[in-house]
Structure 1
């Protein structure tokens, strides 16, 4: 079962700020991750940010799961994402 990706406005803004090479990499990985997101995800300790994260190199994607939807909350470099 494939999940559906839904992006918050903040996530869209984050993605638009990324380098084009990183943007392409993130897009490819998200397409792969949506087939079975919990296989690739780590649960976050602090639920204020979101429920889970994906790691793509030095970038992190913070997201929540709601039914069959993956709600992408933030996309940023690991040095910035948790601030």
Structure 2
């Protein structure tokens, strides 16, 4: 399955607030996730979340996202927020 990433303005602001090392780590890991055959196998489905259906974990950071379009060949993952784990679930 081919995946494409899209970012909300909130997610881009979240990335801007991180130091360059952590930003690079998160972006590299997102690239790695979408390069996998089944990227959702690395995601956790969230329960009772107002923001996002799934999350990826990169260290202490959580990448909250939804699947915007899902066909047998292409998925669009909409990255909603990128937050430290202490802040991610209270949004």
**TM-score, with normalisation over the residues of structure 2?**
0.86
Runs of 4+ residues over 6 Å off in structure 1:
none
Q: What secondary structure, in the 3-state scheme, does the structure 2 residue paired with 1:80 have?
A: helix
Offset of residue 2 of structure 1: 2.1
**Kept after mapping to 1: 8 A contact 2:4/2:77:** yes
- Rg larger in structure: 2
Q: Is it true that 1:42 corresponds to 2:49 in the alignment?
A: no
Offset of residue 64 of structure 1: 0.3
Residue 18 of structure 1: aligned partner: 18
Offset of residue 55 of structure 1: 0.5
What CA distance in whole angstroms lies between the structure 2 residues aligned with 1:80 and 1:43? Answer: 18
Unaligned 5+ segments in structure 1 are: none
**TM-score, with normalisation over the residues of structure 1?**
0.93
Unaligned 5+ segments in structure 2 are: 70-74
- Tell me the number of residue pairs that the alignment of Structure 1 and Structure 2 aligns: 83
